[in-house]
Amino acid sequence: MGKKFVYLFGGRGTKAEGNAEMKDILGGKGANLAEMTNLGIPVPPGFTISTDMCTKYYETGGLPKDLKTQVQEAIRKVERLMGLGFGDPESPLLFSVRSGSRASMPGMMDTVLNLGINDETVHGLIKMSGNERFAYDCYRRFIQMYADVVMKADAEHLDEELDNMKKAKGVKLDTELDAKDLKTLVEVMKEKVRELTGKELPTDPMEQLWGGIEAVFQSWNTPRAVTYRKLNDIPDDWGTAVNVQAMVFGNMGDNSATGVAFTRDPATGANVFYGEYLQNAQGEDVVAGIRTPMPINISGKREASFVSMEEAFPEQYKQLEEVYLSLEKHYRDMQDIEFTIQEGNLWMLQTRTGKRTAASAVQIAVDMVNEGLITREEAVLRINPDQIDQLLHPQIDPEAKKNIIGKGLPASPGAAVGEVVFSAEDAEEETRKGRKVILVRLETSPEDIHGMNVAEGILTARGGMTSHAAVVARGMGKCCISGCQNLVIDYKKQLCTLGGHTIKKGDALSLDGTLGEIILGECKTISPSLSGVFGTIMEWADEFRTLGVRTNADTPKDSRVARDFGAEGIGLCRTEHMFFEAERILAVREMILSNTEEGRRAALEKIKPMQKGDFIGIYREMDGLPVTIRLLDPPLHEFLPHTEEEIAEVAKSLKRPIEEVKAKRDSLHEANPMLGHRGCRLGITFPEIYEMQVRAIMEAACEVSRDGIQVEPEIMIPLVGHVKELSELRDMTVRVAEEIMKEYGVSLTYLVGTMIELPRAAITADEIASEAEFFSFGTNDLTQTTFGLSRDDAGKFLSVYVDKKILPRDPFMALDQSGVGELVRIGIEKGRSARENLKVGICGEHGGEPSSIDFCHRVGMNYVSCSPYRVPIARLAAAHAALRNQR
Amino acid sequence: MGKKFVYLFGGRGTKAEGNAEMKDILGGKGANLAEMTNLGIPVPPGFTISTDMCTKYYETGGLPKDLKTQVQEAIRKVERLMGLGFGDPESPLLFSVRSGSRASMPGMMDTVLNLGINDETVHGLIKMSGNERFAYDCYRRFIQMYADVVMKADAEHLDEELDNMKKAKGVKLDTELDAKDLKTLVEVMKEKVRELTGKELPTDPMEQLWGGIEAVFQSWNTPRAVTYRKLNDIPDDWGTAVNVQAMVFGNMGDNSATGVAFTRDPATGANVFYGEYLQNAQGEDVVAGIRTPMPINISGKREASFVSMEEAFPEQYKQLEEVYLSLEKHYRDMQDIEFTIQEGNLWMLQTRTGKRTAASAVQIAVDMVNEGLITREEAVLRINPDQIDQLLHPQIDPEAKKNIIGKGLPASPGAAVGEVVFSAEDAEEETRKGRKVILVRLETSPEDIHGMNVAEGILTARGGMTSHAAVVARGMGKCCISGCQNLVIDYKKQLCTLGGHTIKKGDALSLDGTLGEIILGECKTISPSLSGVFGTIMEWADEFRTLGVRTNADTPKDSRVARDFGAEGIGLCRTEHMFFEAERILAVREMILSNTEEGRRAALEKIKPMQKGDFIGIYREMDGLPVTIRLLDPPLHEFLPHTEEEIAEVAKSLKRPIEEVKAKRDSLHEANPMLGHRGCRLGITFPEIYEMQVRAIMEAACEVSRDGIQVEPEIMIPLVGHVKELSELRDMTVRVAEEIMKEYGVSLTYLVGTMIELPRAAITADEIASEAEFFSFGTNDLTQTTFGLSRDDAGKFLSVYVDKKILPRDPFMALDQSGVGELVRIGIEKGRSARENLKVGICGEHGGEPSSIDFCHRVGMNYVSCSPYRVPIARLAAAHAALRNQR
């Protein structure tokens, strides 16, 4: 007997061969089917083929004999449990074949239902169900799916045959076709399959089954699955398991039904049982969004005419309530469940941890702590820091004037404002041009994911809260309204109508995903805030984290936003942004155009009061918190005009010849500005610039300090590569600072430190620390120099790198821990070897990215600094880092 | 009694307080004066004030009391030895005050002679010498020097008074003025000093002496001294000693003389005593070049009318011969000596190791080994690797047609061809424009050094072999002809005449520094070779070195030159240089303009045979030696045309619309091309390019190998930052290589490796070594990325950095050992931790720079690779590294 690849589950009163802990080999679905079995919950019997087999399949290109034996044996056991026979013409057992990987990949891989049906067994099915129409409906569904998934025929042609039949009969719904129609359709479709593929549809049940199993393994590597994994950081080598399970039928008549539900509201997190079902339907019908499903309970009814399951199937609803409560208690988390009622019998087909919006995740986590189900640590760890980004995005301003032209299901909350497009391709193209778009579709499919990924929001005419659009949008944290039934779309004319309005491609539309409102034009949005349960989670996170969280802010306004989000100081205030403002850029240009130190000093004198004003505003906002101010960083040519008109204008304003301005611009041109005359190199060659800045920083500090504001300036010298650059500029800084404090008669604590953003600085950090009271790792530039990769130019080939898996992720998004990170580690180690109490932070964009924050925690930084809107993400990620690494 | 600052030397039959080992505190001059004293050689008595005092002087800004006491005591002792009294009006002792640092800095610092003379002691001097003219000549010399050096008066005004006097008397030479004239001149000059400085010339001998001592200390930090130290890598903190020595007079009449000599020929190294002297003159007259000196011996006479010292002072010449032989034997090296004959008595004023040309250094070293004076190791260590650069520069082709228009002294050998300029400023300006210049001056002074430094060669009208121009040019390894007496220069008109020709600024001139010939126009030059004693030194160097020496060569011709110079393989063959050649650039552009892989492959097929041809040529030259070939490195836009005309031409040739060519150029434009789409990034995105190159490399190898050529290709992937880049390209390389060897039925050893030129590569070298059989450190790019410094742009501020001493040297010239070097060290350590036998070399320009080569030796590289003409330098530097580090 070789390795075990097949694990039995299901049936009433039995135990499964697996359990919930075995997700790695059984996949999420299989493990949970086994777990439910073990909990005594009714699950149709079946077996899981392990993920190892998927790996083996890709290694060897086929399925081993050993597997065949194990599958045969498992089938025998399922036959016994169901009292049916696979291929038995009298009482036939049918199977479903479903994928199931470690991580949920909704709709990404293939499924085949009703395996085992053929011209013989269909009669057994008729006999068993007493329902000829049902049996032929199963048959035609089988043919459609099998042809599509296993035989790779173009499924649209079979759909056409279905439509032709409906037209011929003058009906609209599939359910209006009778047994005879469907029987004819089966023959037509078989013929069509022959025509499309040149092959016969297999009639042997075992042949059908092996085709289905192999097709599921193959679907692991379809382009859409690969894209989904890349977007969701799922490793390619995990593979999928295959779940082969006895079919139970929700479409055996009005006594049957099928549904999906969440144990709590996946959009808001409210502790209510929430779901949808369809009478006389197979499970795929609910999620496919073809028929609009009914609510599972009375409380979920949006329209009085709807009939809930609670009303139509009261007994089974009660049973389902028991099941869901026991599942939630068992798993200690909100569950996403699937069930089928076959002729009055409830069968559970799936349970898994439910996807949810960030708002829902936060609400559920806090509630479950209050309910005593989970600990605070667990609650904090359950909130994905990346996901809460959506809570930090704007919402439609409740005060705004709104021209609401329609309503749909509030499938994923938040606000979206953009121009309408009608295809994923257009969504991509327009966003490439820098436009913001709303993707409007009848319904979405996995093929639309790339467009959904770039859109601000998604609006669909069909589909419920669990439709493809809804599930995927929630996962992406994107605003989505689904099932807007009044929306009429004309793809050809590239327009849609809603509430009497015609909206063309490119017209502005706003979506309120929280309320499900569709608003004409651009609607005003408001900023989010940390209140209620979100505030609670943040408080808990702050209890656990040890890393400080600061912000990168250049204005009093940004400083205020960041402080409201919990920033504990400014980690990076970029003074050059101040230089660009309209009223001062002229003085800056005058300074650059001066050929003498005197000329530059005169121009700098004009800039100083303005810079001082900026700092005063920031200090006031950050009262009591440290403020790290970086001296001028970009090369001077960035401040000069580029177009002929601008040059002429500047020349006129400064009363200089145009030629002189051009000559200066040319003389400042650089082959590689990233590696050029910038950062502290400016301070060394034009000390008067940095001197003015230090004056402005210290004068502002002295002035606000007189008003009782507590101010802690940290003056940061950028782009230091050699300790002597720092020592020279530090000497200047200290000299000027002491002068000014003497002048004002004020004594302040201030620090002088440096950015570590060049490999040489990291490598010689011990020398540099002798002159620096703090280090701030500028990992944007450090990534550029360590990789020798210009961020501005990398776009042309970096995507190829990620596609070819040469780099696991874009190193400008997530810190490259083994390369750039190793330099950071060396820099901290060497720096602290020379100055034990060296304060160390990070101010590159990685400071707001969770995996990078985990790294910063591990290498012992004091704080991370990120953009104001990412401060809560950083706080949460820092808590995760502390909790994970203490384990 | 405090620290000892004053060390006595000199006098006959006494011992000195110092010796030759004490150069650090006594300076070279002081240590050798002490050593000569100890050898029993007649040295005028005096004392040395140590270099510590110079440091102390700069620290405290003054001279301590302690020193005054020690100096007073030393003066008493010198008075006793000389039987004279300092300030004694009857028998006055006069002093000279001279600088003397650890390293020779000829003419860079100040000297004052005849200290102690005043209106009283001048009479004692008259009495002692019986020569009133001599005494007043001393007095007026004292005033001129003291006013200039100590009182900082503009010395030209005093020179004018001397000229006025000569005009008034109708004479041309100083010696034609009589005692009365000089006596009048003394009074006139004293008055002039009062007028110029507002101060009296001090009459107190002690005041004079302290003024002189302090002036010498001050002269350590004059701009010209600082420049010289920077050019010669002499640390600023060494300081200078001051030598105070009893005056002896070469200008006491025709019975007196003064001279300088070398114990061997400093230009050729020939073992002949070689020098110049002047009768009735002070030492400064010889080196100042005002009077043309006479040869020291009969063998040195260039004109029959000259009177040598051997003839004029036969007895003293014999004594001098004994002295020089004993000095050379004692010091075991060629000496540069100064002497004075005062009324028939020979006094030695100085001995020091003589500066010499590289040719001379090599000749002397080999000769001294043959004479049994020194070991081979010493001989090798005595040749400065940087200096032999001059032996590797072209010489005037002996076969060339030469329009010789004049002759001068062959002051520094080699050939120089360039455009004439008449000032150091013009020399700098023209070379900035990319021109090669010959600096033509009446004579040079320390103010001209910056111009000499950039000139190809120097031509002077005045001055001997030991003139400023000659000494400095030899030090710089620059061709120089001095003392061309027929040369008439008109600075105002910016022209000169020689041999009946008028040469204007900008006219072409050639110099043969070996023969002293001045040639009109541009003369043909020939390449140097390693023969004779140079070859011998190189053989010895090879015995000692352990580092291999390869070359960077892209053509068969360069390969041949390098092999002749001893290269042991090619360390870097840049394939892109081949792309630029006229006949193939079109195909390259066609390849770039293709928007499909097929199009690129078609164009590459045209390039392949040409590349293959290049490799065949190189393999043949390097038969039996390894050849490292780097795959395409620069960004593709470098191959595209830039001007409108070129674009039009290319569009026409390729039959493409101009707009298309422009659009491609624009689409390939990069903000930071140094950090852009280049190196292996091209190989990843356009695998067909590298594939073609590997094919060409391996097909060429297979073909020559069939002809019996032994070929060892090493294929090098550039700009690797992540191991996966390398593994992908390595797989491709191995696949293609194996294919081709199979095709040809040939089995070859080939290696696949990478350049380490990005910090990330060095930091993750263990991962990278798992895929690389060799590393070659590309320290040009590694320096750029480690410092974040673009070589193209750094020119604007790097000089400020070196001036402000923020960087000790330009890191592109000499490897930055603590930063970039540390990454190299880490890279080697990590690389070898993963692959013990990893072959490691360097192919940046540092591979030819001696201090960097020493580093490469210490970190355990296998070889260095440098440009062909630097191969001998690298061989010698590698030997130095081995010898120095084994100590």
State chain A's mean pLDDT as an integer: 91
What mean pLDDT is predicted for residues A609-631?
96
Which residue among B675, B725, B818 sits closest to A793, beta carbon to beta carbon? B675
Band of the pLDDT at A339, cuts 50, 70, 90? very high
In this prediction, residue A289 carries a pLDDT of 60
Q: Is A131 helix (H, G, I), strand (E, B) or coil?
A: coil
Helix ranges restricted to H, A718-764: 723-744, 759-763
In this prediction, residue A173 carries a pLDDT of 78
User: Does residue B644 carry a pLDDT above 60?
Assistant: yes
List the single residue in A with minimal CA-CA distance to B825: A763
In this prediction, residue A287 carries a pLDDT of 63
Task: Give the contacts of A13 (CB within 8 A, at least 6 positions apart).
Answer: A40
Which residue among B760, B790, B818 sits closest to A671, beta carbon to beta carbon? B790
In this prediction, residue B753 carries a pLDDT of 98
Q: Minimal CA–CA distance to A700: which of A573, A816, A787?
A: A573
Using the Cβ of A816 and the Cβ atoms of chain B, whether some distance falls under 8 Å is answered with yes
Residue % of chain B over a pLDDT of 90: 67
Q: What are the catalytic residues of A? A: 468, 843
pLDDT, one tens digit per residue, over A830-847 is: 999 999 999 999 998 899
**What's the token pair of residue A148?**
């599509």
Q: Minimal CA–CA distance to A159: which of A167, A136, A283?
A: A167
Query: Among the listed ranges A180-184, A299-303, B87-91, which one has the minimum average pLDDT value?
Result: A299-303
Helix ranges restricted to H, A622-657: 644-653
pLDDT, one tens digit per residue, over A392-446 is: 877 888 778 889 999 988 888 789 999 999 999 999 889 888 899 999 999 888 7
Band of the pLDDT at B581, cuts 50, 70, 90? confident
In this prediction, residue A227 carries a pLDDT of 79
In this prediction, residue A493 carries a pLDDT of 92
In this prediction, residue A2 carries a pLDDT of 73
Verify whether residue B722 is a known catalytic residue.
Answer: no
List the single residue in A with minimal CA-CA distance to B681: A797
Q: Of the ranges A276-290, A797-811, B520-534, B765-779, which is most confident?
A: B765-779
β-pair type (B274-279, B257-262): antiparallel
β-pair type (B345-353, B335-342): antiparallel
Using the Cβ of B771 and the Cβ atoms of chain A, whether some distance falls under 8 Å is answered with no
Within 683-712 of A, beta carbons closer than 8 Å to B belong to 684-685
- Verify whether the Cβ–Cβ distance A674 to B788 is below 8 Å: yes
Q: How many CA atoms lie within 13 A of B770 on its CB side?
A: 9
- Verify whether the Cβ–Cβ distance B722 to A676 is below 8 Å: no
pLDDT, one tens digit per residue, over A478-511 is: 899 988 888 999 999 999 999 999 999 999 999 9
CA distance B513 to B694: 48
User: Does residue A108 carry a pLDDT above 90?
Assistant: no
In this prediction, residue B799 carries a pLDDT of 78
Instruction: Look at A660 and A208; give whichever has higher pLDDT.
Output: A208
- Verify whether the Cβ–Cβ distance B670 to A781 is below 8 Å: no
pLDDT, one tens digit per residue, over B787-799 is: 999 988 887 788 7
Cα three-residue angle B529-B531-B534, rounded to 5 degrees: 100
DSSP B543-596: HH--SEEEEE--SHHHHHHHHHTT--SEEEEEHHHHHTSHHHHHHHHHHHH--S
In this prediction, residue A399 carries a pLDDT of 78
Which residue among A757, A758, A797 sits closest to B685, beta carbon to beta carbon? A797
Q: How far is B606 from chain A (nearest CA, A)?
A: 26
Helix ranges restricted to H, A154-202: 156-169, 179-197
Q: How far is A504 from chain B (nearest CA, A)?
A: 33
Cβ neighbour number for residue A649 with a 10 Å cutoff: 15
Exposed, middle or buried: residue A524 (CB in 10 Å: 0-12, 13-18, 19+)?
Answer: middle
Catalytic residue among B138, B484, B573, B843: B843
How many Cβ pairs within 8 Å bridge chains A and B?
165
In this prediction, residue A683 carries a pLDDT of 95
- Verify whether the Cβ–Cβ distance A764 to B819 is below 8 Å: yes
Using the Cβ of B789 and the Cβ atoms of chain A, whether some distance falls under 8 Å is answered with yes
CA distance A484 to B690: 54
CA distance A883 to A544: 7
Which residue among A676, A763, A767 sits closest to B793, beta carbon to beta carbon? A676
Mutate to test the interface with B, among A674, A758, A780, A786 (most CBs of B within 10 A): A786
Query: The pTM is what?
Result: 0.80
Cβ neighbour number for residue B581 with a 10 Å cutoff: 12
Instruction: Look at A620 and A813; give whichever has higher pLDDT.
Output: A620
Which residues on B lie below 8 Å from A681 (Cβ)?
797
Cβ neighbour number for residue A380 with a 10 Å cutoff: 26
Q: Is B710 helix (H, G, I), strand (E, B) or coil?
A: coil
Interface ipTM > 0.90: no
φ/ψ of residue B481, rounded to 5? -120, 125
Sign of CA dihedral B58, B59, B65, B67: negative
In this prediction, residue B477 carries a pLDDT of 66
Using the Cβ of A796 and the Cβ atoms of chain B, whether some distance falls under 8 Å is answered with yes
User: Does residue B887 carry a pLDDT above 70?
Assistant: no
Residue B185 and residue B162 in contact, taking contact as beta carbons nearer than 8 Å: yes
Which residue among B673, B806, B816 sits closest to A684, beta carbon to beta carbon? B806
Side-by-side strand order, sheet with A479-482 = A404-407, A517-520, A508-512, A415-421, A437-441, A457-460, A479-482, A409-412
Q: Tokens 């005594």 map to which residue?
A: A40
In this prediction, residue A290 carries a pLDDT of 66
**What's the token pair of residue A311?**
């009303």
Phi-psi bin for B343: left (phi > 0), alpha (psi -120 to 50), beta? left
State chain B's mean pLDDT as an integer: 91
List the single residue in A with minimal CA-CA distance to B800: A685
- Verify whether the Cβ–Cβ distance A764 to B806 is below 8 Å: no
Q: Tokens 């039928």 map to which residue?
A: A249
pLDDT, one tens digit per residue, over B820-864 is: 999 999 999 999 999 999 999 999 889 999 999 999 999 999 999
Query: Among the listed ranges A338-352, B145-159, B393-407, which one has the minimum average pLDDT value?
Result: B393-407
Q: Tokens 């034997």 map to which residue?
A: B329
Which residues on A lie below 8 Å from B675 (Cβ)?
672, 674-675, 784-785, 788-790, 793
Verify whether residue B157 is a known catalytic residue.
Answer: no
Using the Cβ of A793 and the Cβ atoms of chain B, whether some distance falls under 8 Å is answered with yes
pLDDT, one tens digit per residue, over B160-207 is: 999 899 999 998 877 788 999 999 999 999 999 999 999 999 999 999
Using the Cβ of B633 and the Cβ atoms of chain A, whether some distance falls under 8 Å is answered with no
CA distance B603 to A470: 50
Based on its alpha-carbon atoms, the radius of gyration of chain A, rounded to whole angstroms, reads 32
Sign of CA dihedral A445, A448, A450, A453: negative
CA distance B789 to B114: 54
Give the Å distances, CA to CA, from B374 to A697, B178, B524. Answer: 65, 52, 39
Which residue among B760, B788, B800 sits closest to A721, beta carbon to beta carbon? B788
Cα three-residue angle A808-A813-A819, rounded to 5 degrees: 60
Within 10-49 of A, beta carbons closer than 8 Å to B belong to none
Map B843-865 to HEC letters: CCHHHHCHHHHHHHHHCCCCEEE
**What's the token pair of residue B178?**
């009589």
φ/ψ of residue B448, rounded to 5? -90, 0
CA distance B310 to B316: 8
Within 727-766 of A, beta carbons closer than 8 Å to B belong to 728, 757-760, 763-764
pLDDT, one tens digit per residue, over B743-801 is: 999 999 999 999 999 999 999 999 999 999 999 999 999 999 999 999 888 877 887 88
Partners of A713 in the β-ladder:
A627
The one-letter amino acid at B114: N
Which residue among A681, A719, A793 sits closest to B677, beta carbon to beta carbon? A793
Which residues on A lie below 8 Å from B783 (Cβ)?
none
What mean pLDDT is predicted for residues B709-729?
97
